[in-house]
Amino acid sequence: MPSQVNHEKEPAHASKSEVHGGHPGSGTSVLAEVAAPPVIQANGVTRKLAKTAQRPKPLARPELKIAAAGKALPVPPPAVSLRAKCPPVLDQDPIESCAAFAFTSALRFLHLRDGLDEPLSPLFCYYTTRVLTEGEQTNDDSGCKADAVVETLEQYGTCVESAWPYDTSKFAITPPTTAFDDAATRKLTKAYRVTTLRAMKVSIADGYPVPVAFPVAQSVGCGDDAVLSHTWRTGIFPIPSCAPDDATAGASGTSAGSSGASAGSAGTVAGSAGGAAGASGTSAGSSGASASSAGGSASSAGVRGGYAGGPVNDSFRYAPQTPIPDPAVGYHFVLAIGYDDTTGLVEIENSWGDTFGDQGYGYLPYALFGPTQDTLIADKSVLAEDPWTLRHQADEMHHAAAAK
């Protein structure tokens, strides 16, 4: 079982590439053209960054309808955290299973809310998604994409952890028939794409966490001690200068600054820090405050983490809403469980164990989701990818009533 710490119908947008998941040892995504994926050394684990890939025919999926046609989107509260209701923080270790962790954690959140406390198997989800839904080779530790995970949960369901315990050495082994039989009793009822940061906040405020992918900066993914140490201790991920696709599109796929276009395009997302943060209704970006003094939930994160991959290095500081001069090397899936308009940060449950960030939790700057809270996440200028929200049958009835 993964190590844990207890804590209490519209077409899909095809304008952005689908992503796999990752971890400093389990996956963020790196483009297929890169021969050897970068790794993160932390807590004695070497974690690969996963590949990105476009599905040949992305599935048409409904988008989250939080308000009836013609009605304005509800105004979410200025700050919400679902942490007290979240399942335990887990550690995916050195395989690229972060998407499976994010989605099974979201499902378990719903089960816990309904009074059902049974750990679910991310390893079963990872295998069935890769091999049965995506058609990958059994021994291809290639991560998995969000729409494929959703399709898997709808078609096969997911079994309890005891039916197929987490053992990374068994990622290529077909789960037993008993695991498939058990999973068939827990099929996903409905999943929706979340289209904007505002919609994500409304979903979280309504009690539904959101699995989402984001780009990991090269200095984090490739082991820059100052950046990795700071990220690991605070839990706040820096914004890269450009997405992985943009970083490899120019003449130099490794230099963040060699292509002014890559940094410039990122500026429309997160650059002009004050603009992005201000448009999102936040104050974190324009203040120019360092991550360690961002305030609110973020400030408490800085004193709890336990980065064990190397000595503490305090030479790296950054304003959370401002991109660092560093391209992304790939994507990582996490579960968004809260947000705070004062700090301009989305709270996440990570799958890198409880020594990461704030007891296993971390933070994503609002600017990753676009220059305003209503910018479509499917837009190519936005760095975040593929947010989803999951529902059971009872949730569907509640959702329909709320939208009237």
- H or E segment and range at residue 296: helix 296-301
pLDDT of residue 327: 86
Cα distance between residue 209 and residue 201, in whole Å = 9
pTM above 0.95, yes or no: no
pLDDT of residue 207: 95
The 8-class DSSP code of residue 26 comes to E
Cα distance between residue 129 and residue 156, in whole Å = 9
User: Residue 258: which pLDDT band, with cuts at 50, 70 and 90?
Assistant: very low
Is the predicted pLDDT of residue 266 greater than 50, yes or no? Answer: no
pLDDT of residue 201: 97
Q: Which residues of 205-239 are buried (b: 16+ CB within 10 A; e: fewer)?
A: bbebbbbbbbbbbbbbbbbbbebbbbbbbbbbbbb
Domains of the chain are 18-55+77-390 (3.90.70.10)
Average pLDDT, integer, range 45-71? 52
Q: Using the Cα atoms of residue 351, residue 385, residue 63 and residue 267 in order, give the sign of their dihedral.
A: positive
Cα distance between residue 43 and residue 213, in whole Å = 23
pLDDT-wise least confident of 48-57, 186-195, 239-248, 281-290: 281-290
Average pLDDT of every residue of the chain: 73
pLDDT of residue 223: 61
pLDDT of residue 95: 92
Contact 99, 26 (CB under 8 A): no
Residues sharing a CB contact under 8 Å with residue 358, sequence separation 6 or more, in sequence order: 235, 297, 300, 301, 304, 305
Tens digits of per-residue pLDDT, 287-331? 322 333 233 333 222 222 333 334 455 666 667 888 888 888 888
What's the chain's Rg over C-alpha atoms? 19
More confident residue, 398 or 359: 359
pLDDT of residue 218: 80
Is the predicted pLDDT of residue 391 greater than 70, yes or no? Answer: yes
pLDDT of residue 376: 93
More confident residue, 224 or 277: 224
pLDDT-wise least confident of 44-53, 197-206, 278-287: 278-287
Is the predicted pLDDT of residue 246 greater than 50, yes or no? Answer: yes
